[in-house]
Every structure is written in structure tokens, then in C-alpha cells.
Amino acid sequence: METPSVLKMTAEEMVTDTIELFELLNNDKRHAWAERAREDEEFRFGKQWTAEQDAILRTRGQLPLVINRIDPAVELAKAVLTANNPTFRVVPVEDSDNQIAIALNGLLEYIWRVSDGKRQLARLVEDYVVKGMGCMIAYVDVTADGGRGEVKVKHINPLSVYIDPDSREDSCEDAAYMMVSRTYTKRQLLNIYPQYFTKIKDATGDLITDEIHTDAVTGVVEPVFEGSYNQLHEEDDEYIRGYERYDKIWIKQFRIFERWSHREIETDEDGIEEYMQRPAWIINDEIYTEENEAAKTTQQLLQEYQQQQQEYEQMLQAAEQDPQVAEMMIAQNIMPPTEPTVIKTNLRDIYENSDELIEIVSVPLQRIVMHVVVGDKLLYKRVLPCTEYPIVCIMNRHTGSPYPISDVSLVKDQQRFINKMKSLLIAHTTAATNVKVIVPTGSNVELIRQQWAQPSAIIEADFSEGIPQPVQPLPLPNELYTNIQQGKDDIEYQFGLFEAMMGSNNNAPDTARGIMMLDEFGQRRIKPKMETIERGLERLCEIVLSYVQTFYVSEKIFRILSPNNSLTEYAINRRLYDDAGVFTGTIENNVAIGRYDVYVQGGSMLPSNRAAQLAFYIEAYKEGLIDRVEVLKKTEIFDIEGVLQRIDYIEQLERTVQELQDQVGKLQGDMQTRERELFHTKLDNALTKEMANVQSTTKDMQRDQGLAKARLSDVVTNAAKAAQLEVEKIKLEEREKARTQAEIDKRKKK
């Protein structure tokens, strides 16, 4: 049974080998573990007394009472470990893949939601706590999304998982093989695999039952577990066992590096042949592998060639007419343009003709091969794209073997102790409320019983043969009640859960801050379980990524609705086209390329104290460290987007009002300035008017004064002139007199 040969087996050999492998895996140790796991499961649901213990108690007149403290602890562990969805973080190995990593991060969250991941995780946690191991598997649901298919994850019952008994790792990564096997009806198989109708109808085989029987008696409820058979099916329907077998194989993986595109491709043997047959175009010694891109480039080069040819012919015509143009063409060595060469070939010819353009390296790579067998028929086989098993097993108390121990196994004795003490307590209470009386032999017991039961009865008795003696049971010690409480505390301590985490107010601090700190410190006991589950989820996400990079090859747009009603849209494998609608050869967010690491944010699934967290974020907001969007995310407000829109609208209105108020204030200031200016203007006008009046009066006075001066001057001038005339007149008269006298004297002389 060598693993590398599984691909070479015929269908009959594979069926025989798978059934033999199942018998090997379903050994005594595995069967003992399955019985213990089923017993723990029944114990959790209240089947906590064995048949022998039940018979002894009923013989004593005691009730086999069950005070189930395990089921509430399991439910609380589920609630604590699945309080929130895990927060995934995809980290690219190379910085150039950061944008794709963001899209992959959204895709992981989308896959978690379409798989109903929270419910699947809750079932895993329940198996982890009760059975000791929880299992999930990554798979492709080809019928989802309208037949386009989806990568999903789901829970698997660990009792249906069979692991290599020589595995030593708690993750089962070192297992040589794994198997998922359970019984189906043929009707169920036809619903799951309708394409294999004939094989399923013809399948036969010895039925190995899934039923597991324990010696626990019926408790308060009678649970029906997986693997329990019923008669609800038609007579022509029958049970048959199905096997999903997973083996590790080594295959040839080819890494192809194209030097012209600097692109690296990883493929298998079938893929390398398909790659070699791809068409290619060599255009002017440049290689193109996309037909649209090659056609576009060819058309562009032909247009350029035709334009250059036309220009060259025009230059020749000019050279025939102008010798200088001809000399210039000769000097510049202008030659006729070269017609573009287009050679259609394939990548095989390019590889064979030139080893430098394509480098191919063959490396061995581990893969998982899955065979699906039903009864004695092999339905199909498939090589999965992952290097590890798609089944992720998360073990609770790992023992170095694939048979872990659960928390329930470790607290069954404490639970039995509580049940025993409670049964004794009720038996003692019953005895104390029913008085026992010792009477002499030969007494009329029936008469005494009748008279004893009558209230205020007067009983006549003869004490010559002895006095009746009532007997009371001894009081129970107070230590008994303390021991019962101690048993409850031990169960909670083993699970890492405490009364404060259940909302109990016993011994609770008086302050809200004290309660919050107690709740935070109380989670430290359960954090190791959380870390184990987170590591398992990280392995699951790595497997999911390997499926994603292989399955999602076409364009896909998906949206994620957050609890706060915010919608985020992502797109992967988006082909980019130019304005003419021609594919440019670029694929945006191509998830098929690159390598990535996946982390689950520590503690993201644990519950958080909402009031304390909100107060912390509010303080950070007040300090200006974060914005209000982050604060609103931590509230229970459903329509955060609507709230933010309304806040933005209100702030916009407030800004508008503030701007209007500023404008009004500015206008009021301007008005006051204008009023002051108007006042001063009026004052200046009045002053100017008065000054004009004064100046007018002054001018009038000056004019009058001037007129008076002029008149006075005229008077003086006239007076001066009159005086001058008089003087002249007098002088004239004197001259006349003198001339006359002279003439007289002359005459006298004569």
C-alpha cells in the first residue's frame, strides 16, 4: 500500500485497497476513542448513570438525579469562542501584491459568510470541547452561485474522520493518509452525485455500521446521534458506506519564466503541454501571446508603415524636381521604410528555437489526491491543488496520537460526584420529612398509621408492652454542601469558565470597572483553546487560498455587508479593455499569481466588553487619534452609513449656517462702517456747506470791501485828478498871467 502508486491503481484495485485501509484505520484504539467520544457526548446531554448504578439507586428508593453542569459549560465555551467572526489578514510575500492581498482578504471574508462559517465554527468548537477534536474541510461547491461554483468550508463530524494511527502531530500534517467515511442511503448519494447514477445504483458492499453503543442508561432526554439508523426510507433504499480517501503524492511541477513578459507560471504536466500549444505571434522580433493584442499591434504597425511609405514617395518626387532634396536624402541616408513582419507560431517552436526566451524548470511538488469510493465502486479521483490535507483537525488535549482527550472526559468524575451528592441530599430530605416510628411487636400498625395521619388526633395507647419511638435521620454535615459547590467550581475551572462570565453576581466587585477587569482576566484561562483554534483556522485559510488560486480564474465581483450596514465591493480577475473594447492583456487583482501568508487576528473571536471598548474609543477620538467612523463601528448602531450621511449633511448645513452667519456679521460690520462713513460724510457735507457759507460770506465781505476800496480809490483818484486839474488849471492860469504880464511888460518897454 505505497502512497506514490495510488494514481496507477485500477478502479478495482483502488476499491479493494481503500476498504483494507479503512479496516486498518478503524483499529481497536480508534474504536475505543470513538466509544469514549460518544460516551462524552451522551454524558454532556445527561446520560450520566450506568445501568448498574441506576438499578442500585432505584432499589434503594432513590432517584438517579442528574444536575447537569457540563452542558451549560459547553454552551458557554461555544458562546465565548464564537462571540465574533474571526478576523483574517492576508499578507503578500512580495510588496507588489498588496492590492491583490486586499481583494483576497475580502474574498476570505466572503467565503466565510457564504459557508455560514460562524455556525460551522460553533459545531467545531462543540466537538473540540466534547469529543476532543473538531474538524473542518475546504471544498468546492460546484452548484453554488448559479452553477458558477464557490469555494467553501464546512464542519465534519470527527467520528467520521479516520487518521493514520502513526501520526504524531496535533495538526495531522505528518499523516500518510486520511479518510472520511460514513454510511449513506443510496437516495442521499444520488442527490450528492447525480452524475454517477449507474455506479451508485449498482454499488454493493458489506455495511460496517456507524452506530456506537455505550453502557449509559436513558437520561432526561434520549439524544439521537449521527449514525443511528431508522426506518424512514423506502424498502428499495439501502444503506451503503462511502469513502473519501486522501493520499499524499509527489508530482512534477513546472515553473515557466517568459523573458519577454517577465511572467512566471506554475503548472503541472498537463498544463505544460497545454502551454506549449498556445499560439504566439512574433511581430518585428517582439513576442505576443494574446491574439487581440497582436492584431492591434499589427494594425498599428501597418498604418505607420503606410504613412512612412507615403512620406518616402513624396520625398522621392521632390528629389526628382530639386537636386538639393536628393543630396539631403543621400547625406542623411534616408532609406525606404521596412514592412512589418508578422510570424504566427506557437510557444513550443519559440522554446525549441531559443532556450533563452522561455526557461522551464521541473521541480517535485507534493499534492493531495482524493478518491471517492461508494461500496465497491470508484466514483472519481481528483488531484487537489493543496499541499496539505483539506481536512483540518483541531485537537483539544493532544496525547501524541490522533486520539485526543476532551474537556468533558476530564470532568465526568466531578459531575458524577455532584449527581451522587444531590441524590443523597434528596434521599436524606425525603427521609427527614417522613418520620419513622419503632413500635412494639404485635401493635396494630394500620390503626396507628391512620390515627397518626389525623390532625389533632387523640390516640389511646397501652404502653405496657413498650413506648413507640420515632426515629430521625442524622443531620448532614455542612461540609457536604461545600463539597457540592466545590465540584461545580472544579468543572468551571477545568473548562476555563467562571460564574462571572455567566453573569453571576456572586462575589462580584462593586464597581463596573472591577467587573470588566474580572471578565478580562477570566478569559485568560480559555485563551489557550482559542489560540489552538486560531492556528487551525489559519491552516484552513491557507488551504482555501490554494483552492481560490486554482478555481477562481474568471472575473468575479462580490459584496460584503458589515453588521453596521456598510457595503464593500471587491473585484478579482478583472480584465481591462481599452476605449475600443480590445483586451489590453492586463488582469486586475489576478488571484492566480503571487504567494501569501494568512493570519487570524489574535483574540478576534473572543467577546469584548462593549462598554469598556466604546469608552476607550471615545477617549481616543477625543484625543484626535481616530475618527468618528472607528468609534461608530464599536457601537450597536445598525445604520452607521446612514448616521454618517446624516452627520455629514448636518455638518454641511452647520457650515453653511456658519458661513451665512459670517457673511451676516461681515455685512453688519460693513453696514456699521457705511453708517459711520455716511455720518462722517453728512458731517463733512454740513461742515463743507457751512464752510461754503462762511467762505461765501467772506467772499461777499471781501467783495464789498474791495468794492468799497475801489470806490474809495476812485474817490481818491477822482479827488487827486480833480486836485491835479485844479493845479494844472492854476498853473495854466499862472502861465497865462505870466505871459500876459510879460506881454504887458514887453509892451511897456516898447
Tell me how far apart the alpha carbons of residues 737 and 743 are, in angstroms, rounded to a whole number. Answer: 10
Q: Residue 628 domain-assigned?
A: yes
Compute the average pLDDT of residues 42-64.
84
Q: Residue 327 domain-assigned?
A: yes
In the prediction, which pLDDT does 167 show? 92
| Residues forming a β-bridge with 251 | 365
In the prediction, which pLDDT does 24 show? 92
In the prediction, which pLDDT does 4 show? 45
Out of 356, 373, 393, pick the residue that ends a domain: 356
- Name which residue leads in pLDDT, 242 or 314: 242
Do 601 and 89 meet the contact criterion of CB atoms below 8 Å apart? yes
Tell me how far apart the alpha carbons of residues 228 and 42 are, in angstroms, rounded to a whole number. Answer: 13
Amino acid in position 279: P
Out of 332, 356, 380, pick the residue that ends a domain: 356
Q: Considering the chain, what percentage of its residues have pLDDT values greater than 90? A: 17
In the prediction, which pLDDT does 159 show? 92
Is the pLDDT confidence value at 642 over 90?
no
- Name which residue leads in pLDDT, 403 or 520: 403
Is the pLDDT confidence value at 157 over 90?
yes
- Name which residue leads in pLDDT, 526 or 304: 304
Q: Mean pLDDT of all residues in the chain?
A: 80
Q: Which residues contact 629 (CB under 8 A, 6 or more apart)?
A: 640, 644
Longest dimension (CA), the chain: 234
Q: Which residues contact 442 (CB under 8 A, 6 or more apart)?
A: 465
Can you point out the beta strands (E) in 36-188? 88-92, 133-141, 150-156, 161-163, 177-185
Do 200 and 186 meet the contact criterion of CB atoms below 8 Å apart? yes
In the prediction, which pLDDT does 22 show? 92
In the prediction, which pLDDT does 48 show? 86
User: Which segment of 329-343, 350-364, 702-716 scores lowest on mean pLDDT?
Assistant: 702-716
Q: Contacts by 546-550 with C-beta closer than 8 Å and gap 24+? A: 546/385, 546/386, 546/387, 547/138, 547/139, 547/140, 547/151, 547/384, 547/385, 547/386, 548/104, 548/107, 548/111, 548/151, 548/591, 549/385, 549/591, 549/592, 549/593, 550/385, 550/592
Q: Domain count of the chain? A: 2
pTM over 0.85: no
For 564-584, the pLDDT digits (tens) are: 556 778 888 887 777 777 666
Is the pLDDT confidence value at 149 over 80?
yes
Alpha helices in 434-502 (DSSP H): 445-453, 478-495
The full 3-state SS of 15-29, as one line of letters, equals HHHHHHHHHHHCCHH
Q: Residue 59 domain-assigned?
A: no
Most confident of 357-366, 506-515, 575-584: 357-366
Compute the average pLDDT of residues 694-699.
76
Burial class (CB in 10 A: 0-12, 13-18, 19+), 135: buried
| Residues forming a β-bridge with 154 | 137
Is the pLDDT confidence value at 456 over 70?
no
Tell me how far apart the alpha carbons of residues 19 and 241 are, in angstroms, rounded to a whole number. Answer: 10
Is the pLDDT confidence value at 665 over 80?
yes
Do 518 and 509 meet the contact criterion of CB atoms below 8 Å apart? yes
- Tell me the pLDDT band of 232, cut-offs 50, 70 and 90: very low
Among 127, 75, 76, CA closest to 406: 127
In the prediction, which pLDDT does 102 show? 84
| CA 415 distance to own-chain centroid | 40
- What DSSP string runs through 599-667? EE-TTTTS---HHHHHHHHHHHHHTTSS-HHHHHHTS--S-HHHHHHHHHHHHHHHHHHHHHHHHHHHH
User: Which segment of 50-54, 129-133, 389-393 scores lowest on mean pLDDT?
Assistant: 50-54
Out of 356, 383, 405, pick the residue that ends a domain: 356
Among 359, 378, 22, CA closest to 196: 378
Q: Which residues contact 205 (CB under 8 A, 6 or more apart)?
A: 19, 240, 241, 375, 376
For 75-97, the pLDDT digits (tens) are: 888 888 888 788 788 887 766 67
Cα dihedral sign, 504-509-511-516 = negative
Q: Residue 700 domain-assigned?
A: no
Q: Residue 698 domain-assigned?
A: no
Range of the domain at 629: 610-638
User: Which segment of 395-399, 487-491, 735-739 scores lowest on mean pLDDT?
Assistant: 735-739
Q: Residue 268 domain-assigned?
A: yes
Most confident of 38-47, 152-161, 359-368, 479-488: 152-161
Q: Residue 340 domain-assigned?
A: yes
Q: Residue 310 domain-assigned?
A: yes
Is the pLDDT confidence value at 3 over 50?
no
Phi/psi class of residue 434: alpha, beta or left (left: φ > 0; alpha: ψ in -120 to 50)?
A: beta
Compute the average pLDDT of residues 553-560.
81
In the prediction, which pLDDT does 140 show? 92
Rg over CA atoms, the chain: 54
Compute the average pLDDT of residues 694-715.
76
In the prediction, which pLDDT does 37 show? 92
User: Which segment of 269-283, 358-372, 594-608, 686-700 scores lowest on mean pLDDT?
Assistant: 594-608
Tell me how far apart the alpha carbons of residues 350 and 337 are, in angstroms, rounded to a whole number. Answer: 27
